[in-house]
Amino acid sequence: MTELNARFIDVGSTPARDMNFWPAMVIPKEDIDREMERLSDLDRPGNGRRVSSIVHPYATEPGLGLAPGIDVTINVLLPGEETVVIRRNSNQIAMCIEGSGDALIGADVIRFEKFDVWNTPSMMLYRYRNSGSERCVFLSYSNAPMLEKLEVHFVEEDPPVFAPAEGAGDAMAAIKRAREFADNFEIDESGARLMGYEYLIDIDVVPSRPLIWRWDTVAAQLDRVANLGKDYRGRRLYLLYNPATERRNGTSHSFFATIARYPGGTVDMPHRHSSAAINYYFEGLGKSTVEGQKFEWKAGDLMLSAPGWAVHNHGSRGDGFHALTIQDHPLHIAMESLIWQETLKDPVLKLGAEQGAQTNIGELVGVR
């Protein structure tokens, strides 16, 4: 084996590196439709997975994605098809864009239809099936590229399934946890503590379940944000909230998903955040400006709409638009790296550690 030697690099007087934004880009509906047709025309793969990843031209291996750390895949299931069971330590959010199907995640069977959104928690066994008569297509977003960059993306296809012995759960619940015997004590008035090894390997559990946000239920509420009036200074959307993410305000532990409805002629204030954003526009049309570059988009287009910390804003045309937005916002909260500038005149805030950005909704809710 070749001997390895670390390098020492003096960085004390090195200026901070400039951020190299991946350029924003629109993937047109026509390109997505062609890829859906190509996947549909393939012979059925052995594992049943007709999947194509949408990769940004700046992406490099390992960890190809549409944004650094985020991939988007097109998934096709023809009538009667079913995928093999898989599990992975990346978490996922998906939206159906055509047809319907079933997501079998852990012990749950989630029936989904067009524009429904659901999550797949890390390390849960999952598979998909199409028991209908029409093609099923969904987009799936995951943090696989980030885990691949770290060389820790664990994937098992058709893994062995072990059923717990009858009564095993009750027996385990009756046994004291090793951490109950481990040291855990404060060492000064600041709150700093010393804790035994057992706390590292037996973390308190917050149940993480697959959930679904059905389009007909969400759509029925969107008038509330669409009709806030032209003077509203926030984004017209709802977060699809998963309680397992707690204060990280996510749909999965890595991402939030929001559904926006903008009436015609609405334009956001330019803003920026360290979380990257990917928009799928599923109704209507509009325009965006990202780092001074102008884009136009329509229903069925997918867009890397905000590379992390790039200045951007979006506006609606015609009768407005609906959009699914995926951002790695919860991941940044967990890393304490979520910085946010609601307008370019506002201070840069570290969300979650100080009072966050404020809108004028308090002045408007009384006029609904």
pLDDT more than 90, % of the chain: 87
Torsion of CA 232, 237, 238, 240, to 10 degrees: -150
pLDDT in tens, 15-73: 988 889 999 999 999 999 999 999 999 999 999 999 999 999 999 999 999 999 999 99
Report the residue count for the chain.
368
Identify whether 360 is part of a domain: no
Looking at the fold, whether 130 and 260 belong to one and the same domain comes out as no
| Residue 366 clears pLDDT 80, i.e. is over it | no
| Residue 365 clears pLDDT 90, i.e. is over it | no
Task: Please say whether the beta carbons of 258 and 238 come within 8 A.
Answer: yes
Identify whether 125 is part of a domain: yes
CATH number at residue 237: 2.60.120.10
Q: DSSP of 216-236, one letter per residue?
A: HHHHTTTHHHHTS-TT--S--
* Rounded distance between C-alpha atoms, residue 233 and residue 223, angstroms: 16
Identify whether 11 is part of a domain: no
Torsion of CA 218, 223, 225, 226, to 10 degrees: 120
pLDDT in tens, 171-181: 666 789 999 99
Task: Please say whether the beta carbons of 310 and 295 come within 8 A.
Answer: no
Q: DSSP of 257-309, one letter per residue?
A: EEEEEE-TT-BPPPBEESS-EEEEEEEEEEEEEETTEEEEEETT-EEEEE-TT
Mean pLDDT of 238-248: 97
| Residue 367 clears pLDDT 60, i.e. is over it | no
Q: DSSP of 78-122, one letter per residue?
A: -TT-BPPPEEESS-EEEEEEES-EEEEETTEEEEE-TT-EEEE-T
Burial of 220 (0-12, 13-18, 19+ CB in 10 A): exposed
Looking at the fold, whether 217 and 347 belong to one and the same domain comes out as yes
Looking at the fold, whether 225 and 146 belong to one and the same domain comes out as no
Identify whether 173 is part of a domain: no
Identify whether 362 is part of a domain: no
Looking at the fold, whether 242 and 336 belong to one and the same domain comes out as yes
Identify whether 244 is part of a domain: yes
How many structural domains compose the chain? 2
* Rounded distance between C-alpha atoms, residue 350 and residue 334, angstroms: 12
And the tokens for 95?
């939206």
Task: Please say whether the beta carbons of 277 and 306 come within 8 A.
Answer: yes
Task: Please say whether the beta carbons of 111 and 136 come within 8 A.
Answer: no
Identify whether 232 is part of a domain: yes
DSSP state of 347: P
pLDDT in tens, 75-119: 999 999 999 999 999 999 999 999 999 999 999 999 999 999 999
Looking at the fold, whether 151 and 216 belong to one and the same domain comes out as no
Q: What is the mean pLDDT of the chain?
A: 94
Burial of 368 (0-12, 13-18, 19+ CB in 10 A): exposed
Say how many C-beta atoms besides its own lie within 10 A of residue 311's C-beta.
Answer: 15
Mean pLDDT of 263-274: 95
Nearest one of 255, 343, 314 to 26, comparing CA atoms: 314
Work out the pLDDT band at 170, boundaries 50, 70, 90. low
Burial code of 190-215, b = ≥16 C-beta within 10 A, e = fewer?
eeeeeeeeebeeeeeeeebebbbbeb
Looking at the fold, whether 95 and 220 belong to one and the same domain comes out as no
pLDDT more than 70, % of the chain: 96
Range of the domain at 116: 25-155
Identify whether 180 is part of a domain: no
Number of separate helices (H) and strands (E) present in the chain: 8, 23
